[in-house]
């Protein structure tokens, strides 16, 4: 049964993947080390002599609204060290403090963390050490984040969560780039079993032409310790080339949470067309199992997709993107094996059961930078005691549409909520710092709530940090 299901799933994925590939790249698997650029994390042309750079990091902002005034400041330090032509290190330490405005406080309360992207404390450290083992292989070891994709959001692996320890092996040979990522995540609200979970990720990127790329993504996540047994690290997942799905099936499918996906992009002049497809626990054989209760919308048929394009014209940059994720995606019947870290989603911050449109326009003129970002989403949220598939921190078996035999599911089910996020930012770029002003509007409206907040903010920074978020 498991082998038959695996074959069906693989056939569907291959069909979907190559359908995208025919239509359809850039470095789609990149590190995100506290806003260091990707080029700073890889060694392409290094000098043989020692090169050390130490810089301060400063951020301060005050925000005003109708009934909320707040202040926040950050002090930190960054370090870049080039040891020789094979070894390079980058890192940073930040201390954040302040009476954050209500939007941030709602994040803190809902996620049970100090600050989004920080974790449990108001300080954080990030680092990456890159070793060029050969012409074709480089090894990264650090504490930071990764991002797979070309868009504003990622449905495969995003950098919205807190930093985590990782080991990444990058192999480049001709038009092929292959990445092996080994990480450890934390469920912070768990004291004993299930607190720690490990993950292994494969990403294969292939350049069909210099302007057409596609990639295949595969990830498996599992608890280090359950109520029944201490599993530790599943060494079977260390294999750098196999599919994880057969290994998961051999462990009776309840020992891990597997995702597969595809990424593509096409460069046309100064524009990049891109997209993603993600599949999670797809059960396409359900109709053929002669289930007398069968109907469309079986909850295990979970997927998400992204389509977008971005580019620039003279001093104008733009991005337009659409994301959609079906109910219950990224979740798991075992809650502690959901696709998360530090109570934050590892993919899209909205979780699942949503449709989203994003537009970003940026204009630069001399030392001035003008940026307008708009986000419109429709999500099916829960009320007390319900689970319609948006919250990835609830068990699939608790689905409000029928538990583990849930049928008739559709995107937007539950309490349909319209989410609007608008940000208008003006930045004056001076020699060593930026002075910025932001107007932020957030609105959530459904039959259960109608919340609107507007913030006016003014601040100074010497690196691209912000304490304003989309949701």
- Residue 89: give its domain's CATH number: 2.40.160
Domain total in the chain: 1
Residue reference for tokens 């051999």: 250
Element (H, E) at 244: helix 244-250
Q: What is the mean pLDDT of residues 65-82?
A: 91
* 227-260: pLDDT as tens digits: 666 666 666 666 666 565 555 555 544 567 889 9
Q: Is 47 part of a structural domain of the chain? A: yes
Q: What is the mean pLDDT of residues 416-427?
A: 96
Structure tokens at 260: 């597969």
Q: Is 72 part of a structural domain of the chain? A: yes
Q: In Å, what is the CA distance from 195 to each residue of 166, 181, 222, 341? A: 17, 20, 11, 10
Bigger pLDDT: 200 or 11? 200
Which pLDDT does position 281 carry in this prediction? 78
**Which stretch, 96-105, 183-192, 337-346, has highest mean pLDDT?**
337-346
Which pLDDT does position 438 carry in this prediction? 95
Is the pLDDT assigned to residue 5 strictly greater than 80?
A: no
Which pLDDT does position 357 carry in this prediction? 98
Alpha carbon 44 to chain centroid, angstroms: 26
Q: Is 419 part of a structural domain of the chain? A: yes
Cα dihedral 338→344→346→351 (10° resolution): 70
Residue 348: helix, strand or coil by DSSP? coil
Q: What is the mean pLDDT of residues 409-425?
A: 94
Structure tokens at 360: 């970003």
Q: What is the mean pLDDT of residues 458-468?
A: 89
Angle among Cα 261, 264, 270 to the nearest 5 degrees reads 155
Q: Is 252 part of a structural domain of the chain? A: yes
Q: What is the mean pLDDT of residues 211-233?
A: 81
Bigger pLDDT: 153 or 464? 153
Q: Is 370 part of a structural domain of the chain? A: yes
Cα–Cα distance between 334 and 396 in angstroms, integer?
Answer: 8
Supply the range of the domain harboring residue 200: 2-461
Bigger pLDDT: 101 or 444? 444
Is the pLDDT assigned to residue 351 strictly greater than 70?
A: yes
* 383-410: pLDDT as tens digits: 888 899 999 999 888 887 776 667 788 9
Q: Is 250 part of a structural domain of the chain? A: yes
Number of residues written out for the chain: 471
DSSP string of 137-171, one letter each residue = EEEEEEEEEEEESSSSS-SSB-S-S--EEEEEEEE
445 in Cβ contact with 82 (< 8 Å): no
Residue reference for tokens 């870290």: 341
The pLDDT confidence band at residue 189, using thresholds 50, 70 and 90, is: confident
Q: Is 98 part of a structural domain of the chain? A: yes
Q: Is 39 part of a structural domain of the chain? A: yes
Percent of the chain with pLDDT strictly greater than 70? 80
* 429-447: pLDDT as tens digits: 998 899 999 999 999 998 8
Cα–Cα distance between 105 and 98 in angstroms, integer?
Answer: 11
The predicted model scores a pTM of: 0.86
Q: What is the mean pLDDT of the chain?
A: 83
Cα–Cα distance between 442 and 44 in angstroms, integer?
Answer: 42
Is the pLDDT assigned to residue 365 strictly greater than 70?
A: yes
């Amino acid at each position: 049964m498991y082998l038959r299901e695996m074959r069906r799933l693989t056939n569907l994925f291959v069909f979907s993947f190559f359908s995208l590939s025919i239509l359809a790249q850039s470095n789609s698997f990149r590190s995100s080390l506290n806003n260091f650029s990707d080029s700073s994390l890889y060694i392409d042309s290094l000098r043989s002599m020692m090169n050390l750079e130490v810089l301060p990091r400063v951020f301060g902002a005050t925000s005003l609204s109708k009934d909320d005034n707040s202040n926040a400041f950050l002090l930190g330090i960054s370090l870049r060290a080039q040891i020789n032509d094979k070894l390079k290190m980058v890192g940073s330490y930040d201390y954040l403090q302040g009476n954050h405005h209500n939007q941030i406080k709602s994040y803190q309360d809902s996620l049970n963390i100090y600050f989004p992207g920080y974790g449990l404390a108001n300080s954080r450290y990030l680092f990456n050490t890159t070793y060029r083992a050969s012409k074709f292989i480089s090894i990264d070891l650090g504490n930071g984040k990764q991002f797979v994709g070309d868009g504003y959001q990622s449905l495969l692996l995003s950098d919205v969560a807190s930093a985590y320890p990782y080991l990444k092996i990058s192999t480049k040979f001709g038009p092929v780039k292959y990445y092996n990522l080994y990480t450890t995540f934390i469920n912070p609200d768990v004291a004993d079993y299930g607190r720690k979970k490990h993950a292994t990720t494969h990403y294969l990127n292939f350049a069909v032409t210099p302007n057409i790329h596609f990639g295949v993504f595969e990830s498996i996540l599992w608890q280090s310790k359950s109520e029944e047994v201490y599993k530790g690290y599943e060494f079977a997942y260390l294999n750098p080339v196999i599919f994880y799905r057969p290994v998961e099936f051999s462990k009776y499918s309840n020992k891990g949470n597997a995702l597969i996906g595809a990424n593509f992009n096409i460069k046309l002049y100064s524009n990049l067309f891109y997209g993603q497809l993600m599949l999670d626990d797809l059960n396409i054989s359900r109709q053929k199992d002669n289930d007398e209760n069968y109907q469309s919308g079986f909850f295990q048929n979970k997927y998400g997709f992204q389509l977008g394009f971005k580019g620039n014209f003279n001093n104008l940059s733009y991005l337009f993107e659409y994301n959609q994720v079906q109910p219950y995606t990224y979740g798991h019947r075992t809650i502690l094996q959901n696709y998360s870290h530090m109570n934050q989603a590892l993919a899209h911050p909205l979780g699942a059961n949503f449709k989203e449109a994003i537009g970003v326009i940026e204009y630069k003129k001399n030392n001035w930078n003008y940026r307008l970002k708009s986000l419109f989403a429709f999500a099916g949220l829960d009320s007390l005691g319900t689970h319609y598939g948006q919250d990835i921190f609830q068990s699939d078996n608790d689905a409000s549409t029928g538990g583990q035999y849930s049928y008739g599911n559709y995107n937007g089910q539950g309490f349909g909520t319209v989410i609007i996020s608008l940000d208008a930012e003006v930045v004056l770029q001076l020699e060593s710092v930026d002075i910025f002003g932001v107007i932020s509007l957030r609105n959530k409206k459904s039959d259960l709530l109608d919340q609107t907040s507007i913030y006016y903010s003014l601040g100074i920074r010497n690196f691209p940090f912000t304490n304003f978020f989309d949701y």
